Amino acid sequence: MSSALAAPSRHPHEQKRHVYADLLMNYAWMGFEIGTIRERLLRDMLAGMFTGEAGRHYWIRVHASWIASSSASRVGRRFLAIVDEEHARAVVAGPPIRSNVVSGPPPPAAPVTGTSRAGRTSAGALIGLAAGLVLGSFLRGRR
């Protein structure tokens, strides 16, 4: 298995893409290793992953660490061969699909224009409870 920290990026969006790709790759590896993900499904997953630039960049960055950690077993070597084949197939097919994530700061949050019904109900209940406590305290003091 690879580490999500391999060759970290400085840009937060790239870091998130890297972590997501690492999670996907580890999921694929574990499923393939225990037999719940067969080769055909693995190839489909990888083909989808490598159509985008994030998947391709991920594999370029972590390829060596995956070889170091997964090539000891026959299943690991087969997994790596399939990943390499699907990566190469995607590269030959043409340029990756660019991510639509904007690399600027997030847009400002929309201002809250009103409260929800649940919020009004909760506030009303709290006001009623407070009024009841005050009234109860007052009436107990008069005895």
> 122 or 92: whose pLDDT is higher?
92
- Indicate the Cα dihedral angle 7, 10, 12, 14, nearest 10°: -50
Q: Which of 42, 17, 47 is nearest to 28 (CA)?
A: 42
Which residues make beta-bridge pairs with 97?
A: 52
Q: Residues 23-42: pLDDT tens digits?
A: 999 999 999 999 999 999 99
pTM: 0.64
CB-based burial of residue 13 (10 Å sphere; 0-12 exposed, 13-18 middle, 19+ buried)? Answer: middle
Closest CA to 45 of 99, 97, 90, 92: 90
| Three-state secondary structure string covering 114-134 | CCCHHHHHHHHHHHHHHHHHH
Q: What's the rounded Cα separation, in Å, for the pair 51 and 86?
A: 10
Per-residue exposure over 33-62, b if at least 16 CB sit within 10 Å of its own CB, e if not: beeebeeeebeebbeebbebebbbbbbebb
pLDDT of residue 142: 57
**Over pLDDT 70: what percentage of the chain?**
62
Tens of pLDDT, residues 44-85: 999 999 999 999 999 999 999 999 999 899 999 999 999 999
- Per-residue confidence band for 4, with pLDDT thresholds at 50, 70 and 90: very low
Cα 8 to chain center, whole Å?
A: 16
The identity of residue 20, as a single letter, is Y
Model confidence at 14, in pLDDT bands (50, 70, 90)? confident
Q: Is the pLDDT of residue 115 over 60?
A: no
- What proportion of the chain, given as a percentage, has pLDDT over 90? 55
Cα separation of 9 and 60, whole Å? 13
